[in-house]
């Protein structure tokens, strides 16, 4: 099969596609022929060897895909060859075939396109667990989503609205990204690129929430936006740390927590995938159900063939993904 192939950790510009052996499923595993794979920001970190989990070399990157099961290992129940599934893996999805644990495959309901199923993967799962598990979000609450035009951002806006948020504010850099956040369903959009962000974000958010502040902040950006968002929280607000797309890991001031009874919580979604697969399966069922009811719909800004994976990663690196970029791998299998 053909696969993006990392022989040594390196900048993604130095990585190429190679012809490699087909994977063989072990006990409890399946092989999925990939129709579409989700390009994600963490893939860049994985390729460079800067991610929390370093795959053994050589490997193929890629954390989520949708395709058809082509081989079933011993002990697997409930899946057959030809089944259409979304699949979540630690790495390996930038390839014509990916090996996965059967419990990390999710049957696609009829009518869901493979590209949408792939796009309902990592970022929607992460946003789902951020809001429901980490933030303990309740209907009627007000939510600020940073990095609102990116993958996590769009998913968080759509899920917060679907779960009954009274107000969702998207924080973005630049006018074209503002439009993406609005189209994803943000009630308001604020600019995170202003020079006096520390004061301006608080002023904007309190004006947009009738002086209440936001109950929940979803933060995949870090840096100066994180520090400013703290000040925009309401009493008993919760801030969920998801990532550092700005490249800057912020330092949290403990006095803020005390003064407004604030809680800061982190999320590493892959732990839920590995430790509580049943909850992840349930979340994926709910995500497919919300999609089928028209309550969420991944924004796919570009679909590019697998050979163009570097252009997808370049856009992610520059903060210009605008929703999701999908890699088309074997469209003839749809
Ligand atoms: N914790 C987890 O389990 C988990 C799971 C998946 C991803 N992540 C992490 O979450 C972060 C975001 O992922 P994503 O998929 O949403 O990425 P993405 O699609 O590339 O979106 C990131 C967004 O952050 C904003 N941004 C602000 N400053 C930026 C900068 N200097 N460079 C690039 N982007 C900047 C941009 O949007 P605006 O213009 O709208 O601000 C950009 O679109 C990454 O750090 C990723 O590793 C964590």
Q: Is residue 293 part of a domain?
A: no
Same domain, 93 and 142: no
Q: Is residue 290 part of a domain?
A: no
Residue nearest atom 31 of ligand 1, based on CA coordinates: 246
Contact residues for 49 (Cβ-Cβ < 8 A; gap 6+): 9
pLDDT score at 270: 94
Mean pLDDT along residues 198-226: 98
Residue nearest atom 18 of ligand 1, based on CA coordinates: 150
pLDDT at residue 310 tops 90? yes
Same domain, 50 and 112: yes
pLDDT score at 18: 98
C-alpha of residue 33 to centroid of ligand 1, in Å:
28
Same domain, 40 and 102: yes
Mean pLDDT along residues 83-94: 98
Candidates 148, 176, 193, 221: which one to mutate for ligand 1, based on the most atoms within 8 Å of Cβ?
221
Average per-residue pLDDT in the chain?
97
pLDDT score at 256: 84
Q: Which pLDDT band holds residue 332 (cuts at 50, 70, 90)?
A: very high
Residue nearest atom 28 of ligand 1, based on CA coordinates: 246
pLDDT score at 174: 85
Residue nearest atom 8 of ligand 1, based on CA coordinates: 243
- Given a contact cutoff of 8 angstroms between Cβ atoms, the answer to whether 29 and 103 are in contact is no
Q: Is residue 84 part of a domain?
A: yes
- Cα 212 from chain centre: 29
Q: Is residue 68 part of a domain?
A: yes
pLDDT score at 68: 98
Q: Looking at ligand 1, which atom is closest to the CA of residue 45?
A: 47
pLDDT at residue 220 tops 90? yes
Same domain, 214 and 178: yes
Same domain, 140 and 240: yes
| Nearest-10 Cα torsion for 193, 175, 127, 310 | -90
Full residue range of the structural domain in which residue 174 is found: 123-269
pLDDT at residue 140 tops 90? yes
Q: Is residue 231 part of a domain?
A: yes
C-alpha of residue 150 to centroid of ligand 1, in Å:
6
Candidates 53, 63, 319, 325: which one to mutate for ligand 1, based on the most atoms within 8 Å of Cβ?
319
Same domain, 104 and 74: yes
Residue nearest atom 29 of ligand 1, based on CA coordinates: 246
C-alpha of residue 125 to centroid of ligand 1, in Å:
15
Tens of pLDDT, residue by residue over 11-28, are 999 999 999 999 999 999
Q: Which residues line ligand 1 (CB under 6 A)?
A: 40-42, 122-123, 126, 147-153, 172-174, 177, 192, 220-221, 242-247, 267-269, 316, 319, 321
Q: Looking at ligand 1, which atom is closest to the CA of residue 173?
A: 39
Q: What percent of the chain has pLDDT over 70?
A: 100
Same domain, 128 and 159: yes
Same domain, 23 and 69: yes
Tens of pLDDT, residue by residue over 241-296, are 999 999 999 999 889 899 999 999 999 999 999 999 999 999 999 999 999 999 99
pLDDT score at 74: 97
C-alpha of residue 42 to centroid of ligand 1, in Å:
9
Q: Which pLDDT band holds residue 88 (cuts at 50, 70, 90)?
A: very high
Q: Which of 254, 201, 207 is nearest to 224 (CA)?
A: 201
Q: Looking at ligand 1, which atom is closest to the CA of residue 42?
A: 47
Q: Looking at ligand 1, which atom is closest to the CA of residue 316?
A: 20
Same domain, 67 and 143: no
Choosing from 215, 250, 269, the residue where a domain stops is 269
pLDDT score at 13: 98
Range in 12-16, 159-163, 200-204, 319-323 the model is least confident about = 319-323
C-alpha of residue 177 to centroid of ligand 1, in Å:
13
pLDDT score at 286: 97
Q: Which pLDDT band holds residue 176 (cuts at 50, 70, 90)?
A: confident
C-alpha of residue 30 to centroid of ligand 1, in Å:
31
Mean pLDDT along residues 156-181: 96
Q: What percent of the chain has pLDDT over 90?
A: 96
Mean pLDDT along residues 209-236: 97
Tens of pLDDT, residue by residue over 44-70, are 999 999 999 999 999 999 999 999 999
C-alpha of residue 219 to centroid of ligand 1, in Å:
9
Range in 139-148, 198-207, 253-262 the model is least confident about = 253-262
CATH code for the domain in which residue 163 is found = 3.40.50.720
Q: What's the whole-model pTM score?
A: 0.96
Residue nearest atom 24 of ligand 1, based on CA coordinates: 147
Choosing from 226, 253, 269, the residue where a domain stops is 269
Same domain, 140 and 254: yes
C-alpha of residue 73 to centroid of ligand 1, in Å:
36
pLDDT at residue 320 tops 90? no
pLDDT at residue 175 tops 90? no
C-alpha of residue 244 to centroid of ligand 1, in Å:
7
| Number of domains within the chain | 2
């Amino acid at each position: 099969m053909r696969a993006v192939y990392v022989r040594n950790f390196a900048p993604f510009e130095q990585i190429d596609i190679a012809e490699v052996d087909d994977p063989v499923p072990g006990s409890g595993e399946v092989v999925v022929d990939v129709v579409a794979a989700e390009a994600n920001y963490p893939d860049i970190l994985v390729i460079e060897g800067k991610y929390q989990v370093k795959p053994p070399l050589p490997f193929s990157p890629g954390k989520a895909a949708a395709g058809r099961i082509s081989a079933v290992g011993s002990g697997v129940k409930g899946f057959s060859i030809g089944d259409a599934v979304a699949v979540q893996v630690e790495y390996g999805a930038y390839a014509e075939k990916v090996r996965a644990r059967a419990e990390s495959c999710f049957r696609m309901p009829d009518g869901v396109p493979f590209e949408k199923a792939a796009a309902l993967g990592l970022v929607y799962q992460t946003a789902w667990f951020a809001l429901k598990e980490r933030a303990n979000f309740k209907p009627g609450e007000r939510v600020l989503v940073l990095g609102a035009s990116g993958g996590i951002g769009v998913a968080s806006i759509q899920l917060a609205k679907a779960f009954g948020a009274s107000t969702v504010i998207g924080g973005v850099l630049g006018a074209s990204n503002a439009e993406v956040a609005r189209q994803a369903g943000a009630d308001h959009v604020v600019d995170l690129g202003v020079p006096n962000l520390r004061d301006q974000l608080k002023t904007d958010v309190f004006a947009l929430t009738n002086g209440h502040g936001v109950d929940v902040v979803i933060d995949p950006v870090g840096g100066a936006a994180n520090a400013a968002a703290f000040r925009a929280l309401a009493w008993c607000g919760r801030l969920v740390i998801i990532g550092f797309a700005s490249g800057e890991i912020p330092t949290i001031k403990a006095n803020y927590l005390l003064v407004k009874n604030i809680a800061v919580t982190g999320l590493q979604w892959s732990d839920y995938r590995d430790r509580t697969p049943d909850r992840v399966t349930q979340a994926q069922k709910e995500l497919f159900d919300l999609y089928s009811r028209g309550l969420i719909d991944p924004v796919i800004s570009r679909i590019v063939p697998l050979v163009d994976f570097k252009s997808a990663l370049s856009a992610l690196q520059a903060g210009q993904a605008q929703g999701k970029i999908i890699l088309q791998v074997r469209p003839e299998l749809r």
